[in-house]
Structure 1
């Protein structure tokens, strides 16, 4: 006869441990994916628990926390891979072979988004009309989403210089003659 308490009772008594660990690790869990991970960890700990090794509560805390940290690392790794893939796609937009990429980008566009921003020909034309530094500002600030400080560090210059590049680009983009040269109509 097994003297162990049913898992349902253990869960009811210890579910706050999962919430505590999620909160302690500062994890945002709107879809309760991390809670589910913690629940699985608790189940595994319940199944593997050996009373002679120490208190069950300590074992639960240890198992849940480590499982959540592992899941968090996987999530961060996935996000980094995703960011890298997006950067690679944006780099391809500015470098050359754009046609298959253009189709993929168009599939992901929301209806309210402006289509010309994903037009490789537009980026190429724009790049040809800007100085090297102005294009760097477009690439780093607009495409990569880097801050002025990050751009300054990357380019080994000052934040003020980077701001100046952006100011020059904005002035050009507001100029009707420049916009006409790019083939932009007033609808953009």
Structure 2
């Protein structure tokens, strides 16, 4: 088998293609490194009697990237991160959301459209997911996501004006 440097040159396009096929836009460099590690591990453990190396490398690289994605998502689910967008995504998925009274939450809804306010109330009081809200309102998931984005943008503006 070729040297590892030669394998890197040969399989670099495959690693990039797998990154694109998995729709990885954040942390591309880290996932590229994960791909190189998987290629190295595949080169060390490959058994020629079991098929072609390119198929084995592809499966190994993609599998390691999927495993990494699962670990990252699992970590995000268990930890509330301080960035605003991630905060809102995480709060939405918590079993015990912020314990604010309905009236308090409704005061935050002043200045929001009816649909944006509905997203806030359904999410934080009724603990519904975006899919559940879409189903109950008979609209698309992307429509509810638009309500969410509008509400978050306006709520950030309100918060910024209070500081």
TM range (shorter): 0.5 to 0.7
> For 1:1-188, what aligned pairs fall within 5 Å after superposition?
4-82=1-79, 86-87=91-92, 88=94, 91-94=97-100, 126=104, 137=118, 138-140=120-122, 150-151=132-133, 153=135, 188=162
Normalising by structure 2, we get a TM-score of 0.55
Q: Greater relative contact order (Cα 8 A, min sep 6): structure 1 or 2?
A: 2
Cα 1:73–1:20 shift into 2, 3 Å: same
Match of 1:184 in 2: none
- Aligned-pair distance for 1:82? 3.9
- Aligned-pair distance for 1:38? 0.9
- Aligned-pair distance for 1:86? 3.1
Cα 1:142–1:92 shift into 2, 3 Å: closer
- Aligned-pair distance for 1:56? 1.2
Structure 1: give runs of 5+ residues left out of the alignment. 95-122, 130-135, 160-186
Match of 1:116 in 2: none
Give the Cα separation in 1 of the matches to 2:102 and 2:137: 25
Number of aligned positions between the proteins: 125
- Aligned-pair distance for 1:126? 2.6
Structure 2: give runs of 5+ residues left out of the alignment. 81-88, 108-116, 140-160
DSSP-derived class of the 1:20 partner: helix
DSSP-derived class of the 1:32 partner: helix
Give the Cα separation in 1 of the matches to 2:45 and 2:11: 16
| Equivalent pair of 1:29/1:35 in contact (CA under 8 Å) | no
- Aligned-pair distance for 1:63? 0.5
Give the Cα separation in 2 of the matches to 1:53 and 1:139: 57
